[in-house]
Amino acid sequence: MPALVNYRDDLFSIGSHVDAYCPPRKRARLSAQFASGETEFEFENQPSIDVLPDECLYEIFRRLPSGKERSFAACVSKKWLMMLTSIRKAEICKSEKLEKEVVASVSDHVEMVSCDEDGDGYLTRCLDGKKATDLRLAAIAVGTSGHGGLGKLSIRGNKYTHGVTNFGLSAIARGCPSLKSLSLWNVPSVGDEGLLEIAKECHLLEKLELCHCPSISNESLIAIAENCPNLTSLNIESCSKIGNDGLQAIGKFCRNLQCLSIKDCPLVRDQGISSLLSSASSVLTRVKLQALNITDFSLAVIGHYGKALTNLVLSDLPNVSEKGFWVMGNAQGLQKLVSLTIASGGGVTDVSLEAMGKGCLNLKQMCLRKCCFVSDNGLVAFSKAAGSLEILQLEECNRVSQSGILGVVSNSASKLKSLTLVKCMGIKDMATEMPMLSPNCSLRSLSIRNCPGFGNASLAMLGKLCPQLQHVDLSGLYGITDVGIFPLLESCKAGLVKVNLSGCLNLTDEVVLALARLHSETLELLNLDGCRKITDASLVAIGNNCMFLSYLDVSKCAITDMGISALSHAEQLNLQVLSLSSCSEVSNKSMPALKKLGKTLVGLNLQNCNSINSSTVARLVESLWRCDILS
């Protein structure tokens, strides 16, 4: 739309001489100043933006035929932009005759592209940090209305600036009724007023995320529940004013709620959680409760009403005891539960863990973090009770020992496919011989990370029990040597595909030679980061044998230019990612070999390679334009 100032000469044209004095009138279109000794007035033209009253502008703007014209008008000035954001979608006048005239006049000059003025809400906008301001939100509210409508909005502010306020969020509400997903992070200046506008205008809202919003209370959450029946996902984190009343309203009105996540909300208690879970039990499939003041009662409700639950995360619930987890398992309501994660669960004991295994018959994935009361007996009993278990992850469960791990792996009825142990300090090598154990032919992935007591004896026994392993991660096990890993490599009949030995300081070239000899036809990924005894001999073996290897990391290894040259002469090697970080013996002499390898590389890490100067790196970057080079 052309600015009104373009028409001021046509609207207010007057003669060049004025014979009579005219007193000033209300809302004068012009002002005249008499100059001493002259017979003419000097006219000071006022822009029409400042002359027209707001009521006039409002009536003009709401009669603009399309979103395109409104976007043009918003570009004229900040005042016009703010005026346009005050117009609700329902207040815009739609004239079929005017729209046809505009289309006819424009189609003579440009090719028309059809656009749904109502908007289906497929546009996505994200504002981070300093970019999260009311002015930008106002521009989004006006600009997206004529281009399909805003469907997803994410605002991530910070605690150092005020950023977005209720005004900006209200502008979005009035201009974007098609909004389906709203995410607010670190916006302390947004309170109930802005979210009430969202509830009033955006009835299609399906996903709401409120994180670190201290000014938002139950009032706005109740309004969302009453006006947004399509809500399927709710995430609330560190909102100190949201409590039981808001959650009760969500449970009462939002019958389509499928995902719920609540973290660190001190006002949320058993009443809110139990009311919501019991009301939305038929469709609620994913629940995450973290750092809340709930008790055993809430877990009993979960166990009884969680009939549709497939994923459940319970973390840092200090008031939940052994009884709560035991009742949750014995309630027999979690028949569809597939994934269960419990972190910092002081109430998880051997007894309650076995009860959960018996009550969750279809459980396939179990993760226990910092459950300090779980011992070998409970772990073995759980693995026998949970007959469908495929993935087991233990982190910082320090009462679990080698005996418990071997008992889980050797369970003849087990369907376990993946076992992960992280920082389990109770695992130590046993000096005595273990009784005869049954091999586990279902286990495909074994990950033991940063367990300092895990040594050669434990690794050798696990290797013999797991003949079908394909993925092995032993990162951070500085206690193992070649003697411990050889039985594992020799017993893996299926062929290893991914091997991570980073941080295994005592491994030598003999391990890589055995790996290249036994698993050359399947090996795709090999990580030797920090294995300082690995030399050029390993690269020669890899180049001659591992034709399917696509990822190789030899950072901090004793690699020289000779090893890189040998690798580049391998005819069948098809490396895509190569990391040589902190290999101080690799110098500028390796440039021809790196160029040759670069024919297939998409990633090359040369960070902290002090013997390679910047000019060599620059030439490599120019030559290997397809490859992402870190230096």
Which residues, at least 6 apart from 605, have a Cβ–Cβ distance to it below 8 Å? 553, 555, 578, 579, 580, 581, 629, 630
For tokens 């032993």, name the residue.
474
Region 587-611 average pLDDT:
94
Q: pLDDT by residue (tens digit) across 8-43?
A: 343 333 333 333 334 444 444 434 443 444 444 444
pLDDT given at position 53: 75
pLDDT given at position 432: 56
Cα–Cα dist 236/185, whole Å? 10
Region 577-602 average pLDDT:
94
Cα–Cα dist 18/609, whole Å? 84
**120 pLDDT higher than 70:** no
pLDDT given at position 8: 37
Cα–Cα dist 133/147, whole Å? 22
C-alpha separations of 39 from 21, 36, 60 in Å? 12, 8, 39
Q: How confident is the model at residue 102 (pLDDT cuts 50, 70, 90)?
A: very low
Indicate the angle between helix axes 166-175 and 192-201, nearest 10 degrees.
0
Cα–Cα dist 541/516, whole Å? 6
Region 291-318 average pLDDT:
96
pLDDT given at position 433: 60
The token duo for 219 is: 């009032």
Q: pLDDT by residue (tens digit) across 54-100?
A: 777 767 777 777 666 777 676 777 777 777 777 776 677 765 444 44
pLDDT given at position 46: 54
Mean of per-residue pLDDT scores for the chain: 85
Q: pLDDT by residue (tens digit) across 388-436?
A: 999 999 999 999 999 999 999 988 677 999 999 999 999 988 765 656 7
Q: pLDDT by residue (tens digit) across 498-555?
A: 999 999 999 999 999 999 999 999 999 999 999 999 999 999 999 999 999 999 999 9
pLDDT given at position 224: 97
Percent of the chain having pLDDT more than 90? 65
pLDDT given at position 562: 96
Q: pLDDT by residue (tens digit) across 121-164?
A: 678 999 998 888 888 888 888 777 766 678 999 999 876 666 88
In order of start, what are the domains of the chain with their CATH numbers?
495-630 (3.80.10.10)
Region 206-221 average pLDDT:
96
pLDDT given at position 435: 63
Cα–Cα dist 531/509, whole Å? 10
Q: How confident is the model at residue 205 (pLDDT cuts 50, 70, 90)?
A: very high
**172 pLDDT higher than 80:** yes
